[in-house]
Chains A and B, each alone.
Chain A
C-alpha cells in the first residue's frame, strides 16, 4: 500500500474511533440513569427479597474475574493484531468469546434461580431496578459476543485487513467499556449490598 493511502486510512481510523467514543459516552449516560434509579429504589423491596440475600460473594467474584480476564485477552488480541499475527488474534478473540459466554451463563443461572423462586422484576421496585441495570449490561455482553463471532468469521476467511483491524479496535473499546460498567455494578450493587 502506498504512503498516501496509508495516511488516509490512519485518519479514517481516528475519525471512526472518535465517533464510536461518542456513542460509548451516550451509552454511559444511559447506564448512569439506570444506576441512579437503582440507588433510589434499592430499599423499596416491598417486603420481599433484598440485595443482601441475592449477593453470593464467591459467585459474583467469579463473574467479575471472568469479565476482567476477557477484557485483558481482548487487549492482547489488539497487540497481536498490530503485529499482524493472525493466528494469535484468532486464539485470543476466541478466548475472549469463551470468557464472555462464561460470564453470560453465570448471569443467566443467577437470573434463572431468582425467577424460579418467584423473584421477578414485577415483585418489587428494587427487583425491577436490579434486573434492568444488570440485564442491560448483560444485553450489551450478548451483542459483544455476536460481534466477536462476526469478526472471527471475517478474520478466518479474509485475513487481517485494515478494515478488520479497525473494527477490532472499536470492539476493544466497547469491551473495556463494559468491563468498567461491571466494576461499578460489582461495587455499588453487590458489594455495597453485602454491607447493608
Chain B
C-alpha cells in the first residue's frame, strides 16, 4: 500500500489545536459580550473563515494534491456559486421585504428615494 503523504500525525494535531482555539475564541466573544455587536459579527465570521482554511489545509490536505489541481479548481468554483446563492438571496429578499412592507407604500418609497411631494 502506498504511504499516503497526506495524513501525517503532526498536521492533524496542529489542525485540531487551531480549530479548538478558534472555536473557543468565537464562543467567548459572543457569550461574554467582549465587543460590540456589529464588530462581533465580523470577527466570528472571519474566525469561521479562518477555521475553514485551517481544516482544508490540515484535515483535508487540499493544497497537497498532485498533478493539475482539479480538486482545488472545483472547490473554488463551488465557493463562487455558494457566494452567489447566499449573498444573492439575502440581497434580493432584503429588498423584497422592504418593498412589500404593508405600510403606506408611496410614503415609504417617497422617503427612501428622497422624492418630494
A6–B2 CB distance below 8 A: yes
Indicate whether B115 reaches chain A with its CB closer than 8 angstroms. Answer: no
Q: How far apart sit A90 and B49, CA to CA, in the bound complex (Å)? A: 33
Least distance between A141 CB and chain B CB atoms (Å) = 16
With most chain A CB atoms within 10 A of its CB, the pick from B4, B88, B90, B93 is B4
Q: How far apart sit A32 and B82, CA to CA, in the bound complex (Å)? A: 6
Q: Which residues of A contact B52 (CB under 8 A)?
A: 180, 183-184
A194–B30 CB distance below 8 A: yes
Given A75-B15, A78-B4, A84-B1, A29–B82 Cβ distance below 8 Å? yes
For the side of the interface on A, what is the size category? 35 or more
For the side of the interface on B, what is the size category? 35 or more
8 A Cβ contacts from A64-89 to B: 64-65, 68-69, 71-72, 75-76, 78-79, 81-82, 84
B26–A187 CB distance below 8 A: yes
Indicate whether A171 reaches chain B with its CB closer than 8 angstroms. Answer: no
8 A Cβ contacts from B1-19 to A: 1-4, 6-9, 12, 15-16, 19
Given A28-B78, A162-B1, A165-B1, A36–B85 Cβ distance below 8 Å? yes
A68–B16 CB distance below 8 A: yes
B82-112 Cβ-contact flags toward A at 8 Å (1 or 0): 1001101110010000000000000000000
A-B contact count (CB 8 A): 124
8 A Cβ contacts from A124-149 to B: none
Task: Describe B's contact surface by its main secondary structure.
Answer: helix
B4–A18 CB distance below 8 A: no
A173–B60 CB distance below 8 A: yes
Indicate whether A37 reaches chain B with its CB closer than 8 angstroms. Answer: yes
A65–B74 CB distance below 8 A: no
A40–B48 CB distance below 8 A: no
B interface, CB within 8 angstroms of A: 1-4, 6-9, 12, 15-16, 19-20, 23, 26-27, 30-31, 37, 40-41, 44-45, 47-48, 51-52, 55-56, 59-60, 70-71, 74-75, 78, 81-82, 85-86, 88-90, 93
6 nearest A-B residue pairs (beta carbon): A36-B89, A75-B12, A32-B82, A187-B48, A72-B16, A78-B7
